[in-house]
Chains A and B, each alone.
Chain A
Amino acid sequence: MSTLPNPSLHPDPFALLGFEPRPWIDPNALEANFTTRAAAAHPDLASDPESKACAARASAELTESYRTLKKISSRLGLLAASCSNDSPKVATVPEPWGDLLMRSGHCAQQCDRWLTEHTGARTTLEKAMAAAEGHHLLEALNTLREEIDQLEDGLIGELQALDAAWPVYTPSELASLRQRFAFAEKIRFRLQERFLHLAEVLT
């Protein structure tokens, strides 16, 4: 068990954006709070160079805080860092994340190979071959995306459960959830980039 986060961290992203330091933040509230605060702090509203520079610093801090909180793994990292000194290391990759990480990595590699091989396709037959393989890869990417969507729904559920019991939690639980969110974010980014690239070449 651990104690409440230490509020003296400066600048505290939670405080800057008007939230309690907790695991769950309503995504719409995060967007709304960021927009209002960033607008109010914008350097355009300042008149003299000194206050402009000051406002620029404050705006940049808000954007950085927003990015930290929006990415759930970094939000949980922030909570873990401010709660206890001994952040437990999660040694092994829990299933099904290890498997998904492997498969998405393999799929991404295939996509990259396909992209480099087929951007130079010249004959009509080569293009047809490329299209056939490309469509298979696109399907594989879609399947993986659906899998990750489902798993992430589960993670959100856990996050909300963690929030419901807050501030009581076990550090290992927090660390494990953080790690799985980090996997989800990494895999999603990896798949999305390939998806867009592939769609660009195929259409």
Chain B
Amino acid sequence: MSGPILGIDLGTTNSLVGLVDTGFPVLIPDDEGRRILPSVVHFHPGTAPTVGESAKRARLTHPAEVIGSAKRLMGRRTADGPADSGGWGYQVRPGPDGRWGIDLPHGWTPPETIAAAILRELKRRAEAYLGRDIHRAVITVPAYFHDAQRQATKRAGELAGLTVERILNEPTAAALAYGLSRNQAGRYAVFDLGGGTFDLSILEQKEGVFRVLSTCGDTRLGGDDLDAAITEELQRRVHAELGPEAAIHSRPTLRQNAESLKIDLSQRESVQADFPFLWQGQSWSTTLDRSWLEQEASRVFANIPNLCRRALSDAGVDPADLDDVLLVGGQTRMPWIRTLASELFHQEPNTSVDPDEAVALGATIQAGMLEGSLRGVVLLDVTPLSLGIETFGGLMNVILPRNSTIPCKAGEQFTSAVDSQPGVRIKILQGERELAKDNWELGQFDLPFPPAPRGVPRVGVQFSIDADGILTVLGRDLTTGSEQTLEIRTAVDVDDVQVEAMVSQSVEHALQDMAERQWVEARLGAERAITMTRKALAILGTQVSGPEQADVARLLNAVETALRTRDPRQLKESLRALDEGTKPLADRLMSRLP
């Protein structure tokens, strides 16, 4: 297939589209000259969905029909843990196939459908610009997206009538946009904090080759979380001043304004938020300080330094080796984030690229490379997560380590453990933890053995990750040489009825067990607190005076009594008292640290 290829940044908050026009990458605006399309879709019953600004405006009037931040749900299964709308008014619900989706008036809808509506809008925009049909695209994803999240993005493209020529990592795309404009050899870090995801990539550029050395991130961390924190705080204040009912009803309005308040606080030290006629004709206003927001930011983004350290360690690079640190993603406009980046990398970050447009521009350049209109540039990207299989004892055996350059492959040999064993079931995992169960399960496949005594069959399995970061598995009988592609069954493919049964069982089970489990957890926590307090007393020895010892003993006694009486409320209360009463001991312990 030929024809132009679109470069698409499919963001949590905003999306953009570009293409190479007469040799230059350009981002395409809408009729009103706006290049940014809010990633918001409004599904009206009976009519075609609307996308973008107009959908965003309908948020207050139709909270259940207006979908934003759907990217947070892409490729996520109920088995991966809970999911939410990220502060939007719609309902998130497990679908019949064990994936998270959205409850719309016309029924359950997977996140791909939302993404496809956004992609269709971008496609339409580009087709109007070019005056011809377009069927191909490069779509960006967070570098830390796992296999299912990439597959879901690809599926969304197909639903929108686009052949996805490449799934491109966002920080890599940004580096491409920046590196090409600068065109000089060097190493840099791309710090990409968007609405819903964080990625940190370390790259090396030399003579038209962009090689990613390492990448690390979190696909559920972004500016949205800060908006949610602002909403919480505003709601708490409304609750205090206007009462609980006002707090519940004003939530959508507060949430609607949280983002703009956050943006204002990047410019000013404090902002006044006015909400005319917020509740029962009553207006309400409050003031938010930058210092308060920064405190929230340090809590919300606490893990970012760790992820950066990991990426540096994996790349074997010191901050001093970096020629530049690029900031990408709207959230990096926040001064606190810029300071954080400069502290982590010991240098002033580069803010010369437009944080909203760099990714789309990079995607467009990659599209140009694939259609052949841009030459002399190659991208060597990596796989973000280690790929492995579950072995005996529930351990993860790494087959392709994280940060391997893609495309890549690795082989593994299997044999039978008993005579005439028909085959073996293999569980494929992605992640960095030692125990198989702590990693993300990509799927399973059955490897057939020819009938033979144990240990005789030799079946090789080749795991390949393509340039999109997507896995295929090939089995080869080493004795006959016959090959077959092995079908990987994911949780999504499991029989619907079976899943429904599983879900309803687990819900019933959960309700029965809830009270018991809560008590067991509380008991274990309390027992640990008691042990630790005794240990601390032993360590501190004479540093704790007689009266103090008596006090602590009394507090410990109260916790033990509560454990015997099995009264959860009393236990909670006594633990709180113990925590409060042992704070001086904690201070003394901390002061002994280097």
Contacts and interface: CB of A to CB of B under 8 A. Distances in A.
A binds B: yes
Interface string A34-55: 1110111011110100000000
B593 to A, nearest CB: 6
B211 A35 contact: yes
A42 B408 contact: no
Nearest to A34: B405
25 contacts: A38-B380, A39-B208, A39-B211, A39-B378, A39-B380, A42-B379, A43-B407, A56-B407, A56-B467, A59-B407, A63-B404, A63-B407, A64-B409, A121-B528, A123-B532, A123-B575, A123-B586, A128-B590, A131-B593, A135-B593, A196-B306, A199-B306, A200-B306, A200-B309, A203-B305
B533 A125 contact: yes
A125 B528 contact: no
Interface stretch (B244-252, B331-339, B389-397, B576-584): B576-584
A199 B401 CA distance: 22
Nearest to B306: A200
A202 to B, nearest CB: 10
A47 B535 CA distance: 68
Interface residues of A, number: 39
Interface of A: 34-36, 38-40, 42-45, 47, 56, 59-61, 63-64, 66-67, 117, 120-129, 131-132, 135, 192-193, 196, 199-200, 203
Given A127-B586, A129-B532, A122 B306 contact: no
Contacts of A123: 529, 532-533, 575, 578-579, 582, 586
Contacts of A122: 525, 529, 575, 579
Contacts of A117: 528
Nearest to B382: A63
A125 B583 CA distance: 6
Contacts of B579: 122-125
B209 A192 contact: no
Given A120-B528, A122-B525, A66 B405 contact: yes
Interface in B146-191: 166
B81 interface: no
B372 interface: yes
A63 B528 contact: no
Most B CB contacts (10 A, CB to CB) among A39, A47, A123, A131 go to A123
Contacts of B590: 128, 131-132
B592 interface: yes
Contact of A129 (B305, B313, B409, B535): B535
B485 to A, nearest CB: 13
| Main secondary structure on A side of the interface with B | helix
Nearest to A55: B407
A63 B583 contact: no
Contact of B586 (A42, A120, A124): A124
B219 to A, nearest CB: 18
Output the residue of A44, A135, A196, A200 with the most chain B CB within 10 A: A44
A137 to B, nearest CB: 13
A98 to B, nearest CB: 23
A67 B532 CA distance: 46
Contacts of A120: 525, 528
A126 B306 contact: no
Contacts of A203: 305-306
A15 B326 CA distance: 37
Interface string B518-537: 00000001001100110110
B313 A192 contact: yes
Contacts of A67: 401, 404
B contact residues, range = 35 or more
Contacts of B586: 123-125, 127-128
B551 to A, nearest CB: 13
Nearest to B303: A200
A125 B532 contact: yes
Interface string B367-384: 001101000001110000
B549 to A, nearest CB: 14
B585 interface: yes
Interface in B202-217: 204, 206, 208-209, 211
A44 B209 contact: no
Contacts of B297: none
B369 A132 contact: no
Interface in B428-483: 432, 464, 466-467
Given A122-B525, A125-B582, A64 B408 contact: yes
A125 B209 CA distance: 52
B405 A38 contact: yes
A152 B326 CA distance: 35
B589 interface: yes
Nearest to B404: A63
Nearest to B211: A35
A9 to B, nearest CB: 15
B406 interface: yes
B23 interface: no
Contacts of A124: 579, 582-583, 586
Most B C-beta atoms less than 10 A away, residue of A120, A122, A203: A122
Contact of B589 (A63, A132, A193, A196): A132
Given A35-B211, A124-B583, A60 B407 contact: yes
Contacts of B407: 43, 56, 59-60, 63
A59 B204 CA distance: 18
Contacts of A128: 536, 585-587, 589-590
Contacts of A131: 589-590, 593
B410 interface: yes
B310 A125 contact: no
A200 B310 CA distance: 10
Contacts of B166: 44
Contacts of B380: 35, 38-39, 42
B378 A45 contact: yes
A121 B579 CA distance: 11
Interface in B318-356: none
B201 to A, nearest CB: 16
Given A39-B378, A45-B378, A66-B405, A125 B305 contact: no
B321 to A, nearest CB: 13
Most chain B beta-carbon neighbours within 10 Å: one of A63, A120, A131, A192: A63
